Amino acid sequence: MSNGPRYAVGLDVGSAHTRCLVCLLEDGRLRYLGHADVDSTGWSKGRISDQVAATDSIRAAVTEAERKAQVSVEGAVVGVGGASIEGMNSRGLYEFGRPREIDPGDLNYAVELASKVRLQEDRTILQVAPQDFTLDGRAGYRNPRGVVCARLEANVHVISTSAHEHQALVNAVHHAHLAVEETIFEPVAAAYSAVMAEERSRGVAIVDIGAHSTDLVIYDGDALLRASSIPISADHFTRDVAIGLTLSYEDAERLKRDYGCAVMGLTSEHSLIELPSPDGRAPREAPRTFLNDILEARAQELFHFIRGEIAKVGMEQALLEGVVLTGGGALLQGMCDVAEQRLNCQARNGLPVGIAGLPDEINDAAWCVAAGLSMYSAKLKTRKEWKRTVPGILGMLYDKGVTGGQHGGN
């Protein structure tokens, strides 16, 4: 292993923003060095439509982050999300033939067997998240190394994505002269930076609200129960405002950001806002409640879908740590209030934890994914030996820094 400085880089390539975070790994801890946030280009409806333009955005973000950090980086962990994400449970059976002690190789092999799922054409496995193990019919073992049994079953959650879209993203990063260390489902990365191990063990959902998709993961007992994508996003909120108030998309986005609230009851009935008008026409005024009525309706619909996803794994009354909202869409005022109302549990905005010197300007929900990707990059570099037997976190199956959410690379 090189004795030079080790840089941990997270690259959050979204359809609206491309964020890059560069950190230094020293003495097992992460220290902030630099970051960049640039507008994404080359995307259409959540997919890369112009690889050259997408590459330019990535290169611009990485170059600016390098300039601020005053270092040059070679690779990054890259986030993946969007409507093509699908999650499914799978089971792998490994029969020993006779009772004997389980060793780590047995566990990895059982998980590898569970990962051999038949996928539809043009799909690839992004991550395999081990849940627990069943020994001779006895379920619920999280780490049964050393236990004697003759029949070992691994229960996993397999996250897959479009092979074409995944390769397009990887190619765009490569063309920006950056190696892809790993690709990670974005809310998994957000959970890594914003949720502690004990919160996962008590039940928590992470909802990453992006420009063109809302991605979700649900944890219970430190096991990932479900990963999915919901086709309602921050873009829908903006489009609703543009149509409802007869505005351009850019003006609607500005009004949403400056005056928007997802709960109409938090707005004074007498408050007015100025609506931009085309050149040559006088500005208009409208009650602020008009704006927030539109936003509240869409927020209610979003969390209705999220409640359905939570119900699919029977966690409606079991999210003791509630819901953590991340992504730029989570910054809309009132989103936590709607989440609590619709999901009947506590809700909060995620904050990236565990990176020393992180500036206040990026200490918010929009940067949780990039921070988590950087922390995952750091964890990869702390492994003296690491074999990727299947995509995702299987190679780090018993590294509690990944599966348990220990912060700061410890």
Q: In the prediction, which pLDDT does 267 show?
A: 76
Residue 314 inside a domain? The answer is yes
Per the prediction, the chain carries an average pLDDT of 90
Local confidence band at 389 (pLDDT 50, 70, 90 cut-offs):
very low
Note whether 133 and 234 are same-domain residues: no
Local confidence band at 216 (pLDDT 50, 70, 90 cut-offs):
very high
Last residue within a domain, chosen from 161, 179, 208: 161
Residue 131 inside a domain? The answer is yes
Last residue within a domain, chosen from 350, 368, 384: 350
Note whether 218 and 140 are same-domain residues: no
How buried is 194 (Cβ within 10 angstroms: 0-12 exposed, 13-18 middle, 19+ buried)? Answer: buried
Place of tokens 């979003």: 302
Note whether 157 and 217 are same-domain residues: no
Note whether 273 and 321 are same-domain residues: yes
- Comparing 4 with 388, the larger pLDDT belongs to 4
Residue 396 has pLDDT above 60, yes or no: no
Q: Which H, E and C letters describe 280-317, residue by residue?
A: CCCCEEEEHHHHHHHHHHHHHHHHHHHHHHHHHCCCCC
Local confidence band at 392 (pLDDT 50, 70, 90 cut-offs):
very low
| Structure-block tokens of residue 340 | 């609590």
Residue 12 inside a domain? The answer is no
Local confidence band at 401 (pLDDT 50, 70, 90 cut-offs):
very low
Q: What is the mean pLDDT of residues 90-108?
A: 95
Return the minimum-mean-pLDDT range out of 216-220, 249-253, 304-308, 378-382. 378-382
- If one counts the domains in the chain, the total is 2
Note whether 208 and 290 are same-domain residues: yes
Host domain of residue 338: 197-350
Note whether 136 and 210 are same-domain residues: no
Local confidence band at 394 (pLDDT 50, 70, 90 cut-offs):
very low
Note whether 152 and 204 are same-domain residues: no
Note whether 104 and 155 are same-domain residues: yes
Sequence-distant (≥ 6) Cβ neighbours of residue 178 within 8 angstroms: 11, 58, 62, 73, 74, 75, 76
Local confidence band at 280 (pLDDT 50, 70, 90 cut-offs):
low
Return the minimum-mean-pLDDT range out of 179-183, 267-271, 335-339, 356-360. 267-271
DSSP secondary structure letter of residue 261: B
Do residues 111 and 156 lie in contact, with contact meaning Cβ atoms separated by under 8 Å? yes
Torsion angle (degrees, nearest 10) of CA 61, 376, 310, 18: 0
Q: In the prediction, which pLDDT does 2 show?
A: 55
Local confidence band at 270 (pLDDT 50, 70, 90 cut-offs):
confident
Note whether 212 and 140 are same-domain residues: no
Note whether 205 and 312 are same-domain residues: yes
- The tally of CA atoms less than 13 A away on the side-chain side of residue 235 is 16
Residue 336 inside a domain? The answer is yes
Residue 219 inside a domain? The answer is yes
Residue 18 inside a domain? The answer is no
CATH number at residue 105: 3.30.1490.110
Q: In Å, how far from its chain's centre is CA 401? A: 17
Return the minimum-mean-pLDDT range out of 126-135, 183-192, 274-283, 304-313. 274-283
Residue 243 inside a domain? The answer is yes
Vertex 103, ends 402 and 152: CA angle to 5°? Answer: 90
How buried is 151 (Cβ within 10 angstroms: 0-12 exposed, 13-18 middle, 19+ buried)? Answer: middle
pTM here?
A: 0.90
Do residues 191 and 372 lie in contact, with contact meaning Cβ atoms separated by under 8 Å? yes
Local confidence band at 410 (pLDDT 50, 70, 90 cut-offs):
very low
Note whether 157 and 228 are same-domain residues: no
What is the rounded distance in angstroms from the CA atom of residue 319 to the CA atom of residue 110? 29
Judged by phi (left if over 0) then psi (alpha if -120 to 50, else beta), residue 289 lies in: alpha
Q: What is the pLDDT of residues 6-49, one digit of tens each?
A: 999 999 999 999 999 999 998 889 999 999 999 999 999 889 99
Do residues 329 and 300 lie in contact, with contact meaning Cβ atoms separated by under 8 Å? no
Return the minimum-mean-pLDDT range out of 138-152, 219-233, 266-280, 328-342. 266-280
CATH number at residue 333: 3.30.420.40
Local confidence band at 393 (pLDDT 50, 70, 90 cut-offs):
very low
Note whether 207 and 271 are same-domain residues: yes
H/E element holding 169? helix 163-175
Last residue within a domain, chosen from 313, 335, 350: 350
Q: Interhelix angle for 234-244 vs 249-259, to 10°?
A: 110
